[in-house]
Amino acid sequence: MRKVKLCLTFMLAGLVLLSCNNKKSNSEEKKNETAVIEKREIWTKDQANKWYAEQPWLVGANYYPSTAVNQLEMWQEDTFDPKRIDQELGWAENLGMNVMRVYLHDLLHKQDAEGLYKRMDQFLEIADKHHIETLFVLFDSCWDPFPALGKQRAPKPFKHNSGWVQSPGQKVLQDSTQYPRLEKYVKETVAKFKDDKRILGWDVWNEPDNMTGPSYEKVEIKNKVDLVLPLLKNVFVWARESNPSQPLTSGVWVGDWSDEAKMKPMHKMQIEQSDVVSFHNYNTPQDFEKVIKQLQRYGKPLLCTEYMARPNGSTFEGFLPVARKYNVGMINWGFVDGKTQTKYAWDSWTKEYSSEPKLWFHEVLHTDGTPYIKAETDLIKKMTAEANKK
């Protein structure tokens, strides 16, 4: 009987000890989880400006190889084209460009996450060889709301960005049961590359409140912005939970940002959640300067992540000197003429084109790498060389 009592005593002591250890372990796990979240808050002005002071004057383009009609064709295994990417980024390096903004897609992660990461690493290796940093874009609200994996359709003749697709697509956006998959995509992708010095930053969502204009407005859902707003807030949180060393941002693209009290909830949230402030401007140099002054009140570095639409007055010669004056990073839309056909204007969705426009809308180089306007490429070379001379 005494032996039984002793056994019971030891068993009870062991259970108490095990319980204490479990509590301690759970407590430590929670503490560690909290520490990770606490460790990566939104950057302060000082943190953001310290990071920016270590960068060169950032000048580059939104990049996809001329052989790809959209993000899926750029990255899928069958159509990934490292040879062409290497050639085109070599042309960019020759112009003094040092950054490329590059779109990913949630379906690529769903299809083959490890394959995607392998190709991302290959892209980063090529870009780094050419002294180019990469700003990755995770989601995008522009153009076709019905993306599909596999072989992508051919470009529609004479039409601007006729094959570009949204991420997430409309069906996923309306189905909250798929949001855990989006969370997995964000967290795993950012975590995989969170300390990669070849990555400039993460642009978490391109033009989140874009309703696609005449291109797809007949099939767009009316409550799209209402669905995107809370999801984008979550995307920022998910990305920060992966504790990236690089900044997060999402660019405001249309609206009046002169008075915070009058700003839309989407734009307020984008700027509040961003480590560095980014924006788009396809207007005149005067309007570009006005917007810079409006956004300077946040006291954080400014990146113009889309500009340059020649017929609109948004040009290299008009914008780059203003950007240099205010130390704004500059990433124009389009680089090499190819399957996206963005040398045609946005109005190609409502107006018939039967030949190449007299004045290209976007793009800097012909498909063979020769400049569309040599004076432009000479200016880019000159200004980047002066700004970034060692």
30 or 157, higher pLDDT = 157
As given in the structure block, the two tokens for residue 217 are 């407005």
On the question of pLDDT at 234 being above 50, the answer is: yes
Number of domains in the chain: 1
Q: In this structure, are residues 302 and 279 in contact, taking their beta carbons and an 8 Å threshold?
A: yes
Whether 206 maps to a domain, the answer reads yes
Whether 108 maps to a domain, the answer reads yes
Which structural domain range is residue 320 located in?
Answer: 45-388
Give the pLDDT score at 141.
98
Distance of CA 55 to the CA centre of its chain: 18
Whether 1 maps to a domain, the answer reads no
Using H for helix, E for strand and C for coil, what is the string for 137-201? EEEECCCECCCCCCCCCCCCCCCCCCCCECECCHHHHCCHHHHHHHHHHHHHHHHHCCCCCCEEE
As given in the structure block, the two tokens for residue 154 are 């051919």
Determine whether 332 is exposed, middle or buried from the number of CB atoms within 10 Å of its CB (0-12, 13-18, 19+).
buried
Compute the average pLDDT of residues 312-322.
98
Q: In this structure, are residues 71 and 105 in contact, taking their beta carbons and an 8 Å threshold?
A: yes
We report the CATH number of the domain holding residue 291 as: 3.20.20.80
Degrees to nearest 5, angle at CA 330 with 273 and 140: 50
- CA distance linking residue 18 with residue 68, whole number of Å: 58
Give the pLDDT score at 47.
98
Whether 75 maps to a domain, the answer reads yes
Whether 54 maps to a domain, the answer reads yes
Give the pLDDT score at 39.
58
On the question of pLDDT at 26 being above 70, the answer is: no
83-111 per-position pLDDT tens digit: 999 999 999 999 999 999 999 999 999 99
Share of the chain above pLDDT 70, in %: 90
Could you tell me where the beta strands, DSSP code E, fall in 182-334? 199-206, 248-249, 277-280, 302-306, 329-332
Whether 153 maps to a domain, the answer reads yes
Compute the average pLDDT of residues 169-186.
98
Share the mean pLDDT of the chain. Answer: 92
110-141 per-position pLDDT tens digit: 999 999 999 999 999 999 999 999 999 999 99
> Which residues make Cβ contacts (< 8 Å) with residue 13, sequence separation at least 6?
none
Whether 311 maps to a domain, the answer reads yes
Band (pLDDT 50/70/90 cuts) for residue 31 is: very low
> Which residues make Cβ contacts (< 8 Å) with residue 126, sequence separation at least 6?
82, 85, 86, 89
On the question of pLDDT at 40 being above 50, the answer is: yes
Whether 23 maps to a domain, the answer reads no
- CA distance linking residue 350 with residue 149, whole number of Å: 28
111 or 7, higher pLDDT = 111
Band (pLDDT 50/70/90 cuts) for residue 29 is: very low
Give the pLDDT score at 366.
98
Distance of CA 371 to the CA centre of its chain: 26
Task: Summarize the chain as % helix, strand, coil (round to 5).
Answer: 50, 15, 40
Band (pLDDT 50/70/90 cuts) for residue 201 is: very high
List, in sequence order, every residue forming a beta bridge with 99; answer none if it has no partner. 60, 133
